[in-house]
Amino acid sequence: MSIDLDRIRAAHERIRSFIRRTPVLTSERLNDASGASLFFKGENFQKIGAFKARGATNAVFSLDDAIAQRGVATHSSGNHGTALARAAKLRGIPAHIVMPSNSAKVKIRAVQSYGAQVVFCEPTEEARESTCAEVIKKTDATLVHSFENEDVIAGQGTAAMELLEEAADLDVLMCPVGGGGLLAGTAIAAKSMQPEIKVIAVEPANADDAAQSFRAGRRIVTEKKFTIADGLRTNVGEPNFAIIQRYVDDIVTVSEEAIVSAMRTIWETMKIIVEPSAAVPYAAILERVIDVNGRRVGIILTGGNVDLDALPWNPTR
């Protein structure tokens, strides 16, 4: 089974009553500053504050009843855990979320608020995976990986689908890339709906494994460095990379300074709260690593979950 536009449309039908059809936002000032016509898909206004609600909901509601009753499990320090907990609650099934012991308290509380069971582990990739495997062995729950999962990818593709329905004839569609769930779904939706569109992914230079992989033509796993765009530290997944190779036109990178500057510009100009990862595509426009002059450009603003006590322009943190 593979992922195509029909499957993304089916995902949309499946999840539409559980998610928000988020607004497409424009800004005259950012259009003037960039020379482009920008169309921002506001997934910061999505349920649980991020696009992740789409994929997790699609995965949970795609399960057969008998399998669903055994519950779902994942490991996540971020929005996917919350999204899976919420989707499981909506379906009335158990959810087990493996979280690193150093996860932000607000994220732990968010997961627990949906009645999911939180299982803590050491904050390493190995511990996360092994603990999650143990939980699954014990509970017989189904793993819903945050990006290496076809239903998750199809669900994430619904954001681009909605955007292209509302903002037709885009020349370019941009989104950030971490594990590649959003990018894979976005690229399939966009190229299927509008074959001439250019799909450009943007990645922090400090976490540029997808850009490296794209240039090399093979998946390269890199050491994780710090990036303020913490949602993008993950290495791109294998099934994701295969889709990216087929459908994505380019992957460019941006500096940490540009990410912070883009985030602040979006806050001040558009009066909306977006997380650092969401600002990464606009950072590429700010740094002029891609030329958008005179073009109609879609940008997926991935989410708006930030710690207001630790903003990146606050010099004391």
Binding residues for a second copy, rule: CB under 8 A, are 23, 44-45, 49, 264, 267-268, 271-274, 304, 308-309, 311, 313-314, 316
> Least distance from C-beta 305 to a second copy, angstroms?
9
> Least distance from C-beta 278 to a second copy, angstroms?
10
> Least distance from C-beta 37 to a second copy, angstroms?
17
DSSP secondary structure string, 116-136? PEEEEE-SSHHHHHHHHHHHH
Return the number of the residue (106 or 221) whose C-beta is nearest a second copy. Answer: 106
Return the number of the residue (141 or 301) whose C-beta is nearest a second copy. Answer: 301
CA distance 23 to 221: 35
Strand partners, 38: 297
CA distance 89 to 47: 13
> Could you give phi then psi for residue 129, rounded to 5 degrees?
-70, -40
Return the number of the residue (94 or 304) whose C-beta is nearest a second copy. Answer: 304
Return the number of the residue (86 or 219) whose C-beta is nearest a second copy. Answer: 86
Cα 44 versus chain centre, distance: 11
Among 202, 212, 152, smallest CA distance to 182 is for 152
CA distance 119 to 237: 24
Return the number of the residue (232 or 274) whose C-beta is nearest a second copy. Answer: 274
Return the number of the residue (206 or 265) whose C-beta is nearest a second copy. Answer: 265
> Least distance from C-beta 48 to a second copy, angstroms?
11
For residues 255-282, b (16+ Cβ closer than 10 Å) or e, as one string?
A: bbebbbbbbebbbeebebbbbbbbbbbb
> Least distance from C-beta 281 to a second copy, angstroms?
17
> Least distance from C-beta 28 to a second copy, angstroms?
9
User: Angle at which helices 5-15 and 181-193 pack, to 10 degrees?
Assistant: 110
